[in-house]
Amino acid sequence: MPGPGPHLMFAMASGLCLTTTSNGRFSPHHTLVYTINAFFGPDIGSFSVWLASFLGGDTVVSFVANLIHDPFGYFIILGFPLSSLYSKISSLLLRSRLLHASHSRLPLTKMQCFLLISAGSFTHFFLDHLFEENGKTTMYKWILGTGWWDGTAPIYPSAVVVVGFLCLCLIGGFLYLNRASSSVSFHSMILVIVIAALYCSWCISQIYWTSKRRPAVGEEADLGVLVFLAVFFFLPYALCIMSMYPRGLDSDQIPR
């Protein structure tokens, strides 16, 4: 499985890219919280098991560790208490001038920290699902399982028509929304989400709803790829972007 290096460097490089593209709105504080939780966050449980093994109480700790080492379990169980801790650390770093806050010059709020903790959890498992257990993780096997590997995949006219139509709608809709010099990125993103939902619905109908399974898009595992990328790649960045826009700050979080 990926060790400290890949987790830390992938998350920090992503944070630095967001800092550059957001003109500093994604501050070093954002990057630090996101990076720590993308690496050590979900692995807190595994580290606790290792410590408990010296004390002989690793059975209960192992059970809790398995709940924490999960993309959703981590921030559901530890998200709120850790967000309070990271918010205080952010305030301390800012007051002591140990870390620059870039755009806002304010410490991270609890909600910002919660969003970054959640993003870090999903980013952690983006690498774990792909690069551990010799490529035989449950998630990776499911992704490949949405493809067609039983000989050459038959090409059905209905698949060509539906997939072709959706792809044309995506390109055509993008051109329409961004015609001339008007850029409507929000509407374009809604377009992508709608087309992706329809595309996945088509794949699901062919794989799970027909009486006899049919290849949805030739041999391609499009359903698994789209779901995986949506949850473990695009969702973390969406959460990071949301963390740039806090909704209110407590007065005690503003540095004096």
Q: Looking at residue 248, what is its pLDDT?
A: 45
In three-state secondary structure terms, 255 is coil
* 58: in domain: yes
* 172: in domain: yes
Q: How many angstroms separate the CA atoms of 109 and 106, rounded?
A: 9
Q: Looking at residue 167, what is its pLDDT?
A: 97
Cβ proximity of 240 and 115 under 8 Å: yes
Cβ proximity of 102 and 28 under 8 Å: yes
* 95: in domain: yes
Q: Looking at residue 67, what is its pLDDT?
A: 85
Q: How many angstroms separate the CA atoms of 19 and 232, rounded?
A: 20
Range of the domain at 17: 4-143+233-253
What is the reported pTM?
Answer: 0.88
The total number of structural domains that make up the chain? 2
Per-residue pLDDT of the chain (256 residues; tens, 9 = 90+): 688 899 999 999 999 999 999 998 999 999 999 999 999 888 886 666 666 666 665 666 677 778 888 999 999 999 999 999 999 999 999 999 899 877 777 899 999 999 999 999 999 999 999 998 887 889 999 999 999 988 889 989 999 999 999 999 999 999 988 886 656 788 899 999 999 999 999 999 999 998 889 999 999 999 999 999 999 999 999 999 999 987 644 434 433 3
* 226: in domain: no
Q: Looking at residue 60, what is its pLDDT?
A: 63
Residues 46 and 95 in one domain: yes
Q: What residue type is 62 in one-letter code?
A: S
Residues 124 and 215 in one domain: no
Residues 166 and 128 in one domain: no
Residues 158 and 133 in one domain: no
Residues 137 and 160 in one domain: no
* 215: in domain: yes
* 228: in domain: no
Q: How many angstroms separate the CA atoms of 59 and 64, rounded?
A: 9
Residue keyed to tokens 């595992």: 221
